[in-house]
């Protein structure tokens, strides 16, 4: 066991939640903030927040000190989309708390109350550096149990620590368009767009005539009051829409739609978004991309390519990186995805930013998380080397200043099977 591992094991036993003082000294600190990279930096954590960061930080007497000499220190990773805490085994019958079905609850379908902070998937991802995550609903694919709606409901932002884990309820509205939205709307894209337009038009009418509606002086709406209330944040510009969309022509329609309704949109998928990079930058539409998506899976992403993240970032688009096909169970793989983006031209610092600060900016929480800056939540990860290298894993993870146990169900199973004297049930 290394000296750092031993120190952190003791810290995990002695650190109370969000209290005490810890200094991480001597590491190469990538702040992902105005201070840039500090070669021999100190990060001072007091009561769960960054109290100071720099080369010559005064460490108070009695502070718990971690020697990170030769190590790399970064902010915690921010997963921009997934179903952490809403599912355990996808193909099992339960739990599956993210799939929206039917028309009774659509935009108002809020997954925050279903989030399970004790999910086995949480430790698996946080010991590899994931400290914050967007947990989101998705429409249930049409089958014998029914169909989802293009308005899948409200996403939430959570931290993967203990205690108060719900950072923000109703952080975004999830909308399915493109090929999937077409499947949910009778098989046509036109119907999907009309459904979205009708929902926002009803929300606008409800906002202007809420009193009349409550007095029974207004017509009934297609969408429930619960859904119309949930859409108020969207039409007010306070709640972004996470729009699942890939095809360039669909993205062009979205650009016009955002301008027409004065709403905020975040594209997830965006296989062909690179083709409209300048237009997206001008409109302020952010994109959550999977840098490994370089082959068409349908006619919606026929122009998928490596290097799309580079083109988008160079054009000025805010880009967050996700591991396209595994953003829940393996959200941790976003470091590998970021590394692949670097191999196809993305600047290394921009890639780190795309898995830390940029997603925090996209979802409006950058004032409190996403970088190592004074006053922000102390989400800090210590790595043995380059975090975007496939074989590098965190040696320590802090969430809100607390050193999390570097243990998951997978590490426990690994250790069990590595025992020379296995329990009787596992002997040959």
Low-confidence ranges of the chain (pLDDT < 50): 1, 3, 6, 10, 12-19
User: Is there a contact between 329 and 121 (Cβ–Cβ < 8 Å)?
Assistant: yes
Please report the DSSP string for 101-119 in residue order: -SSSSSTT-BGGGG--TT-
Predicted local confidence at residue 213, as pLDDT:
80
Predicted local confidence at residue 141, as pLDDT:
82
Q: Count Cα atoms within 13 angstroms, Cβ side, for 203.
A: 22
Residue 337 DSSP label: H
Give the span between the Cα atoms of 46 and 20, in whole angstroms: 6
Predicted local confidence at residue 10, as pLDDT:
46
Predicted local confidence at residue 91, as pLDDT:
67
Phi, psi for residue 132 in degrees, rounded to 5 = -130, 155
Predicted local confidence at residue 144, as pLDDT:
65
Dihedral (CA of 87, 90, 93, 97) sign:
positive
For residue 338, give Cα distances in angstroms to 17, 81, 303, 350. Answer: 31, 15, 20, 9
Predicted local confidence at residue 314, as pLDDT:
98
Give the span between the Cα atoms of 227 and 223, in whole angstroms: 6
Reported as a single tens digit per residue, the pLDDT across 138-155 is 998 887 677 899 999 999
Predicted local confidence at residue 15, as pLDDT:
41
Give the span between the Cα atoms of 386 and 71, in whole angstroms: 9
């Amino acid at each position: 066991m290394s000296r750092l591992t031993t120190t952190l094991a003791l810290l995990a036993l002695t650190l109370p939640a969000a209290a005490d003082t810890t200094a991480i000294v001597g590491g190469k600190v990538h702040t992902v903030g105005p201070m840039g990279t500090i070669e021999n930096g100190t990060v001072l954590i007091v009561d769960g927040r960054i109290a100071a960061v720099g080369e010559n930080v005064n460490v108070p007497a009695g502070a718990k000190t971690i020697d990170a000499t030769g190590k790399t220190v970064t902010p915690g990773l921010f997963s921009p989309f997934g179903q952490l805490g809403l599912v355990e085994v996808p193909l099992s019958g339960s739990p599956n708390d993210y799939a929206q079905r039917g028309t009774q609850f659509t935009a108002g379908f809020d997954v925050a109350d279903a989030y399970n902070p004790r999910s086995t998937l949480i430790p698996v991802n946080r010991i590899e550096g994931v400290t914050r995550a967007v947990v989101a609903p998705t429409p249930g694919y049409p089958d014998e149990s029914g169909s989802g709606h293009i308005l899948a409901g409200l996403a939430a932002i959570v931290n993967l620590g203990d205690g108060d884990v719900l950072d923000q309820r109703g952080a975004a509205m999830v909308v399915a368009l493109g090929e999937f939205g077409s499947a949910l709307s009778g098989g046509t894209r036109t119907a999907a767009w009309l459904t979205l337009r009708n929902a926002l038009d009803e929300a606008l009418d409800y906002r202007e005539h809420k009193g009349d509606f409550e007095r029974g002086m207004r017509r009934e709406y297609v969408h429930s009051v619960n859904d119309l209330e949930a859409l108020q944040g969207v039409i007010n510009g306070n709640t972004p829409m996470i729009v699942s969309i890939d095809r360039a022509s669909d993205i062009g329609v979205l650009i016009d739609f955002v301008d027409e309704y004065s709403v905020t949109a975040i594209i997830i998928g965006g296989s062909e978004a690179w083709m409209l990079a300048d237009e997206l930058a001008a409109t302020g539409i952010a994109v959550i991309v999977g840098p490994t998506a370089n082959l068409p899976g349908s006619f919606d992403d026929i122009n998928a390519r490596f290097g799309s993240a580079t083109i988008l970032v160079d054009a000025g688009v805010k880009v967050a990186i996700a591991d396209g096909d595994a953003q829940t169970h393996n959200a941790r793989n976003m470091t590998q995805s970021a590394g692949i983006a670097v191999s196809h031209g993305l600047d290394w610092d921009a890639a780190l930013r795309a898995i830390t600060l940029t997603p925090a900016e996209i979802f409006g929480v950058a004032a409190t998380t996403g970088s190592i800056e004074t006053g922000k939540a102390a989400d800090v990860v210590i790595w043995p080397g380059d975090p975007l290298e496939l074989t590098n894993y965190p040696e320590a993870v802090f969430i809100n200043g607390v050193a999390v146990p570097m243990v998951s169900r997978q590490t426990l199973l690994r250790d069990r099977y590595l025992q020379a004297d296995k329990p009787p049930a596992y002997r040959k």
